[in-house]
Structure 1
Amino acid sequence: MAELDTLDIIVLSVILLGTLAYFTKGKYWGITKDPYAASFANANGVKAGKTRNILEKMEESGKNCIVFYGSQTGTAEDYASRLAKEGKSRFGLETMVADLEDYDYENLDALPNDKLIVFVLATYGEGEPTDNAVDFYEFITGDDVSFSESREAPLDNLNYVAFGLGNNTYEHYNSMVRNVDKALQKLGANRLGVAGEGDDGAGTMEEDFLAWKDPMWAAVAEKMGLEEREAVYEPIFGIVDREGLTKDSVEVYVGEPNKMHLEGTAKGPFNAHNPYIAPITESRELFSVKDRHCLHMEVDISGSNLTYQTGDHIAIWPTNPGEEVDRFLNVIGLADKRNDVIGVKALEPTAKVPFPTPTTYDAIVRYHMEICSPVSRQFLATLAAFAPDEATKAEMTKLGGDKDYFHEKISVHHLNIAQVLSSVSKGQTWKNIPFSALIEGVTKLQPRYYSISSSSLVQPKKISITAVVESQMIPGRGDPFRGVATNYLFALKQKQNGDPNPEPFGLTYEITGPRNKYDGIHVPVHVRHSNFKLPSDPSKPVILIGPGTGVAPFRAFVQERAKQAADGENVGRTLLFFGCRKKNEDFLYASQWEEFKKALGDKFELITAFSREGAKKVYVQHRLKERAEEVNELLQKKAYFYVCGDAANMAREVNAVLAQIIAEQRGISEAKAEEIVKNMRAANQYQEDVWS
């Protein structure tokens, strides 16, 4: 074979290089940059060059007002966003919203006095800070709080505003905002206006917030020399059509919560930002009567690094039902564009897009917006400007401005945003609403929390859920009011069991999830740790009060104590007071209590109250009173007392009855007995897991 001459070598080299270039294009060179990548990085969970220095952040972004939130379920975060938006539109403040856990606080004392700090703080459980506010709370209320500078009143330069979200059925009502306000005052900070308090227990949270904020803004304007201007809508987000992409494109989010889930590489930690897609191994109905069903589900967490302790909560990440998604998209005129791909861009550097993009209108509404919840009065006032005609605009303005009229027409009927828009416009489409206004104004769809009804000692890798599914007919509302998450679970149960006649509402859920990732059947979950715990010493007696699904954590407690007894441990007396409507209708886990009794013997007793079986209604608090002598004896032996269920009525009455029992049995005044109950709470001997 003849040797290659120089020209041959050059030609072959060019061909070789060309071939290499062809096969490596897009991998090592010639990579097409997504022109929107930087804009959407924040939405996809990418945090570039993030500082934890508050002062630095405000200076680099040109902000003079920062609204911090401590939020567990999203409501405080929503109020924080609304305050930031209003501060900018009405008074020209340069505002930003911030998660308390994203910053350090040692240099709060260095903030100039021409800045404003707003704290929107929810109280969680028994007077505890929300998960994202723990570090801040411990810092600001601690005995050894230290700042970057040393002076007698280190925060005398700090102007602040505070609003709390609480529930008056709890012992430590709004303790977060009260304690933080007290600590800030002690450190010399200047509060503008009063510290507001919203009450979820009385159902007045929204109106409490609205009543508080106007005088607060007046105080802020006076202190900071601000002039109010006519509020004009200024979008925080820009919407961009992503032509060339379809809902089937691999980079398009169709409901996945983050990039790992999109790429199929999801791993822990699984938490409120990152759910675990857990298989449901079992689902059945404990009872089914008329418009009420009770579900028992077993969720397998063995494929994750999730762990739980007896008494914890499981968070279910629901999706919205299809009929409500359709209603919403129809009324805003986007039904035909539901599968169009869009990007959402933050128009200012501190704003956070609340979901990953690029995505579709359908995915945003189905997986990320709280479209089924009752609408706020303030939001209706905002949307009035985009009404399809003058008559509709006038009605929206009246609804937004008149508390009593809004209550009569809207809130008493629990209408959601799409129902209100359709009703007020008499069926006209609201094509003028910028989609950015809906992203900003409709609360983010939040996980729902359920008391875990299994013991981690008995089944560490399987979580039990007990949930009642109800349909409530409300006067003035065309269709029943239904819980989003409970009906989602019901739909999963129907699919898993192949129910021959499933309810229509259940059929409308997209239960297979984005790209069929939930089929099989799966549900997105995470675990929230709770302080609702059995005593570490199993020989301590316990008194459990849990009517209805309030019995869920007590099934776990009794299951655990039965296991401890079977393992030879000395288990203390366990009294469970359970109430329901009828013995043969909604008596939860009736056969299982018998099994636990075999393991625990005389150490366990179930006391029942069936409210609809006799001429007179009997509730758990009545049964508690009947057992006054034994209850008092157990308390004197340092028994732990637990209550789970309805906060507004049952829990309050149980608290009052317990004080009466102590007063009567010990021959002391009710005031003294109430003090004993209060001390039990403070010592964690009296624990509650209640809801409104």
Structure 2
Amino acid sequence: MQTQTTLEKTYSRTNPFQAKVLKNVNLNGAGSSKETRHIELSLKESGLTYNPGDALGIFPSNDPELVAAILEEMKWDDETLVEINKQGETLSLKDALTNHFEITLLSKKILQGAAAFTESGELQKLLLVENMAQLKEYTNGRDLLDMLRDFGPWKASAQDIVSLLRKMTARLYSIASSNAAHPDEVHLTIGAVRYTAHDRLRKGVCSVQVAERTQEGDTLPVFVQPNKHFHLPESGETDIIMVGPGTGIAPFRSFIEERAVRKTSGRAWLFFGDQHAATDYLYQSELEQYQKDGVLTKVDTAFSRDGAEKVYVQHRMMQNSKELFAWLQSGAYFFVCGDKQYMAKDVHNTLIEVIEKEGGMTREYAEAYLNDMQEQGRYQRDVY
């Protein structure tokens, strides 16, 4: 009998824990073009624990307005029962579209499947082998509603269409708290994603759910996703350099909190950047306090829209190249978190330039130096 009770309490991706929202605040000041949410969730009685660097998975719900627009477009009855898997489990159509399926992403596979239910010549043409580029372009930034509007009329039941859809996937967010500092809690830093594409406002499924529809006291289905490739050095005496602009600050808040609780002696240097110092300096008062307390040795900020020229974290690294290289030479770990497309590449290249310049090396040697750091686990990236 004992094992049964233990099993019931094991929460995971396949059995997420309903975590109560304790706090949900916007970190950006009035007038900011961004909305970054600081969320605190209760893990009480979940048995879930985490390490600095780990991520939290959230299973989101789709925007009720988007679900309503799909039902309206297809003149479907939201109470119609549909099968959601091969085991024959059923849900009402509204529930299936809200909680079970991805409706904001399109793929070649979905369009190929949908082609059987319409006589649209336009869709047939898009699916031709020679039109691969156009197909890719079409699926980018469009969703199920676009497809239903663009290629009708449809000879399809609700079941036919939902059978084409992918199951909702969890969204992973870097944890922004230390378990040691906040037992029974987990904190997240989530930037709300909103943009206009193809004449419609698009919203990030999870980020906007959290920003617009999640109140304190609500629950969210969560699980812990360990990250073996992004963690503090074992010794608290080791120096750490952290580059985390925007929501990339999240894991470093967790690192700093952990080191504050453990009273470690290693130095810590943070590079943080965003648009405006007045409205976008996330966790400013906390970070300033940590500096006063000596937990953070150095903080260098880059606010790109505050001056005539755009200044980013990599520019601050270059300005501090001598000291940065000295820290690396004395064994510091170097961490980067945030945007994969631009920031992480720029930081990577700047790091090579710093090593090349201050180490008096060729580019090739500087790259080898960084590769060695990576192999020793001293250069770690959490990029998305």
- TM-score normalised by L of structure 2: 0.92
2:121 is the alignment partner of 1:379: no
Q: 2 CA distance for matches of 1:479 and 1:439?
A: 23
Q: How far 1:659 sits from its partner (Å)?
A: 1.2
Aligned to 1:473, the other structure's residue is in SS state: strand
Counterpart residue identity of residue 671, structure 1: E
Aligned to 1:579, the other structure's residue is in SS state: strand
Q: What residue is the counterpart of 2:92 in the other structure?
A: 360
Counterpart residue identity of residue 247, structure 2: T
Question: CA 1:534–1:674 in structure 2 vs 1: closer, same or farther (change >3 Å)?
Answer: same
Aligned to 1:657, the other structure's residue is in SS state: helix
* Highest RCO, 1 vs 2 (Cα 8 Å, sep ≥ 6): 2
Question: CA 1:479–1:342 in structure 2 vs 1: closer, same or farther (change >3 Å)?
Answer: closer
Q: What residue is the counterpart of 1:664 in the other structure?
A: 357
1:408-438 Cα shifts (integer Å, max 9, x gaps):
5x245x110221221233xx4x2x2254543
1:525 to 222, 227, 232: 222
Q: What residue is the counterpart of 1:369 in the other structure?
A: 101
Aligned to 1:383, the other structure's residue is in SS state: helix
Q: What residue is the counterpart of 1:301 in the other structure?
A: 43
Q: What residue is the counterpart of 1:404 in the other structure?
A: 133
Q: What residue is the counterpart of 1:617 in the other structure?
A: 310
Q: What residue is the counterpart of 1:325 in the other structure?
A: 67
Instruction: Give the percent of matched residue pairs that are identical in Structure 1 and Structure 2.
Output: 31
Counterpart residue identity of residue 553, structure 1: P
2:122 is the alignment partner of 1:395: yes
**Post-superposition, which runs of at least 4 consecutive aligned residues in structure 1 deviate over 6 A?**
none
Q: 1 CA distance for matches of 2:117 and 2:66?
A: 21
Q: What residue is the counterpart of 1:284 in the other structure?
A: 25
Q: 2 CA distance for matches of 1:657 and 1:342?
A: 53
2:339 is the alignment partner of 1:646: yes
1:557 to 252, 255, 258: 255
Larger Rg: 1
Counterpart residue identity of residue 362, structure 1: K
2:113 is the alignment partner of 1:415: no
Aligned to 1:648, the other structure's residue is in SS state: coil
Question: CA 1:636–1:343 in structure 2 vs 1: closer, same or farther (change >3 Å)?
Answer: closer
Give 1:93-492 correspondences, 5 Å limit.
Answer: 267-287=8-28, 289=31, 292-334=34-76, 336=77, 338-343=78-83, 346=86, 357-373=89-105, 375-387=106-118, 390=119, 393-401=120-128, 402-407=131-136, 410-411=138-139, 414-425=141-152, 428=153, 430=154, 432-474=155-197, 477-492=198-213
Q: How far 1:342 sits from its partner (Å)?
A: 4.7
Asked whether the 8 Å contact 1:308–1:460 carries over to 2, the reply is no
Q: How far 1:479 sits from its partner (Å)?
A: 2.0
Aligned to 2:358, the other structure's residue is in SS state: helix
Asked whether the 8 Å contact 1:285–1:295 carries over to 2, the reply is yes
Q: 1 CA distance for matches of 2:162 and 2:53?
A: 35
Give 1:76-87 correspondences, 5 Å limit.
Answer: none
Q: 1 CA distance for matches of 2:43 and 2:310?
A: 41
Asked whether the 8 Å contact 1:299–1:462 carries over to 2, the reply is yes
Q: How far 1:643 sits from its partner (Å)?
A: 0.2
Q: 1 CA distance for matches of 2:83 and 2:149?
A: 27
Counterpart residue identity of residue 290, structure 2: F
Asked whether the 8 Å contact 1:310–1:452 carries over to 2, the reply is yes
Q: How far 1:615 sits from its partner (Å)?
A: 1.1
Q: 1 CA distance for matches of 2:375 and 2:79?
A: 54
- TM-score normalised by L of structure 1: 0.52
Asked whether the 8 Å contact 1:291–1:470 carries over to 2, the reply is no
Q: How far 1:292 sits from its partner (Å)?
A: 2.5
Aligned to 2:272, the other structure's residue is in SS state: strand
Counterpart residue identity of residue 280, structure 1: V
Q: What residue is the counterpart of 1:60 in the other structure?
A: none
Aligned to 1:458, the other structure's residue is in SS state: coil
Question: How many residues are matched?
Answer: 375
Q: What 5-or-longer segments of structure 1 have no aligned partner? A: 1-264, 347-351, 497-519
Q: What 5-or-longer segments of structure 2 have no aligned partner? A: 1-5
Counterpart residue identity of residue 537, structure 1: S
Q: What residue is the counterpart of 2:3 in the other structure?
A: none
Asked whether the 8 Å contact 2:114–2:161 carries over to 1, the reply is no
Q: 1 CA distance for matches of 2:293 and 2:364?
A: 40
Q: What residue is the counterpart of 1:543 in the other structure?
A: 241
Give 1:584-595 correspondences, 5 Å limit.
Answer: 584-595=278-289
Aligned to 1:598, the other structure's residue is in SS state: helix
Q: How far 1:460 sits from its partner (Å)?
A: 2.6
Counterpart residue identity of residue 632, structure 1: F
Asked whether the 8 Å contact 1:578–1:606 carries over to 2, the reply is yes
Asked whether the 8 Å contact 1:492–1:521 carries over to 2, the reply is no
Q: 1 CA distance for matches of 2:151 and 2:133?
A: 17
Q: 1 CA distance for matches of 2:55 and 2:84?
A: 33
Q: How far 1:491 sits from its partner (Å)?
A: 2.6
Asked whether the 8 Å contact 1:377–1:399 carries over to 2, the reply is no
1:435-482 Cα shifts (integer Å, max 9, x gaps):
4543442111111000011112211311011011132122xx232111
Q: 2 CA distance for matches of 1:626 and 1:459?
A: 36
Asked whether the 8 Å contact 1:641–1:687 carries over to 2, the reply is yes
Q: How far 1:267 sits from its partner (Å)?
A: 3.6
Aligned to 2:35, the other structure's residue is in SS state: strand
Q: 2 CA distance for matches of 1:378 and 1:457?
A: 45
Asked whether the 8 Å contact 2:239–2:331 carries over to 1, the reply is yes
1:168-204 Cα shifts (integer Å, max 9, x gaps):
xxxxxxxxxxxxxxxxxxxxxxxxxxxxxxxxxxxxx
Question: CA 1:302–1:344 in structure 2 vs 1: closer, same or farther (change >3 Å)?
Answer: closer
